[in-house]
């Protein structure tokens, strides 16, 4: 679809297509970018209360990610960390 065709779609249709495509193709960068802009978009659309709630949820997810190296969760995620670090050739002193 070209831009003119996309412009004809409703916001819901655009959302559904974009999110479906990102999930199918593993484009987590897009999904992360979407999460980052939702609070500002809600504020701009007059939903400041919802914007604050979303910021809290994103903050909680980030907190979980930062603390996910401890306990049983940390052990369960070991293969993920090992794969990531080996792909990026991270020095043990980093």
Higher pLDDT, 12 or 69: 12
Provide the pLDDT for residue 94.
47
3-class secondary structure, 5? helix
Higher pLDDT, 59 or 37: 37
Provide the pLDDT for residue 86.
74
Listed in sequence order, the DSSP H helices in 25-90 are 28-44, 48-66, 71-76, 78-87
| Residue 46 near residue 54 (C-beta atoms within 8 A) | no
Query: What's the CA gap between 40 and 36, in Å, rounded?
Result: 8
């Amino acid at each position: 679809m070209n831009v003119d065709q996309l412009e004809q779609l409703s916001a819901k249709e655009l959302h559904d297509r974009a999110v479906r495509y990102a999930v199918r193709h593993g484009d987590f960068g897009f999904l992360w970018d979407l999460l980052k802009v939702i609070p500002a978009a809600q504020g701009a659309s007059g939903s400041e209360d919802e914007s604050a709630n979303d910021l809290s949820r994103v903050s909680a997810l980030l907190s979980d990610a930062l603390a996910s190296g401890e306990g049983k969760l940390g052990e369960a995620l070991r293969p993920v960390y090992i794969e990531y670090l080996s792909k990026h050739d991270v020095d043990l002193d980093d």
